Structure 1
Amino acid sequence: MNKKVIYAASAPAPIGPYSQAILANDTLYVSGQIAFEESQKGDIKAETRKVMENIGAILNAAGISYENIVKASIFVKDLNHFAAINEVYGGFFSTEPPARETVQVARLPKDVNVEISVIAVQ
């Protein structure tokens, strides 16, 4: 197996013992991304947009784009934000959005409101 750590300087550095992403053969596994900026806390659309931009930076570092995403996992503290998250998230996919699940959780790192991880294929 060919395994490579992918790092994007423009996305937040990991806050624990994990990598931003791992490219294994032709599959990219992107760790859950959150928005660290205090100015975005409480604004679910701004938080979601920043998370998706972080994911985009990591995809770019691997030489691929949002079109390569085949699976996404969204973790949210309040499912009442589902429509707002969908509005922002959907704007990153012009056609053929990836498979996905959205799950409400009790708490997320840094007390953010949304975390998204993806799997992409080259």
Structure 2
Amino acid sequence: MNPSIKIIKTDKAAPAGGHYVQATVFQGQMYISGQLPVTAAGEHTFNEPFEIQARQALKNLLAILEAAGGDPSHLLKVTVYLVGVAHWPAFNLVYAEMLGETKPARSVVPVPELHHGYLIEIDAVAVDPS
């Protein structure tokens, strides 16, 4: 790997489950990999209601951001993949609650399915907080 690329890893978010890292930092930007609603201990939550899955996915994303020294105000762009556009209003409520006054650019993309049968996945780009 390029020595100027910094890897971010924390045990406070779901571990990387494939050939990727939780996040990378390069030239002032942080790229957070897609976060499914898997707990930091690796427990799956695909049988839980949508709101619990949304909270867990956001919790993972924010834990990775925090591990790099950041907080929601460092977020530049968030992309949310939802199985079923009907979940959009519920997601928006959880998102607003967890991000507070922070309002980064955002895309919400309805998709037919996600890995393990999850209902949500979230990735983001942030300003390097270091």
The TM-score with structure 1 as length reference comes to: 0.92
Determine which of 65, 70, 79 is the counterpart of 2:71: 65
TM-superposition CA deviations, 1:41-85 (whole Å, max 9, x none): 341111111111101110111011111001000001111010000
Map of 1:90 onto structure 2: 96
Q: Percent identity?
A: 30
Q: Conserved in 2, the CA contact under 8 Å of 1:4 and 1:24?
A: yes
Q: Conserved in 1, the CA contact under 8 Å of 2:6 and 2:24?
A: yes
Where in structure 1 are there 5+ consecutive unaligned residues?
Answer: none
CA distance in 1, matches of 2:57, 2:81: 12
TM-superposition CA deviations, 1:69-106 (whole Å, max 9, x none): 01000001111010000000111222240101111112
Map of 2:33 onto structure 1: 31
* Offset of residue 39 of structure 1: 4.8
Where in structure 2 are there 5+ consecutive unaligned residues?
Answer: none
Map of 2:21 onto structure 1: 19
Instruction: Check if 1:56 corresponds to 2:62.
Output: yes
Q: Conserved in 2, the CA contact under 8 Å of 1:69 and 1:119?
A: yes
Determine which of 108, 112, 115 is the counterpart of 2:118: 112
* Offset of residue 40 of structure 1: 5.7
Q: How many residues align?
A: 122
Q: CA RMSD in A?
A: 1.5
Q: Conserved in 2, the CA contact under 8 Å of 1:75 and 1:115?
A: yes
The TM-score with structure 2 as length reference comes to: 0.87
Cα distance change on mapping 1:39 and 1:94 into 2, 3 Å: closer
Question: Stretches of 4+ moved more than 6 A in 1?
Answer: none
CA distance in 1, matches of 2:44, 2:100: 29
CA distance in 1, matches of 2:13, 2:99: 20
CA distance in 2, matches of 1:84, 1:70: 22
Residue identity opposite 2:61 in structure 1 = I
Residue identity opposite 1:27 in structure 2 = Q
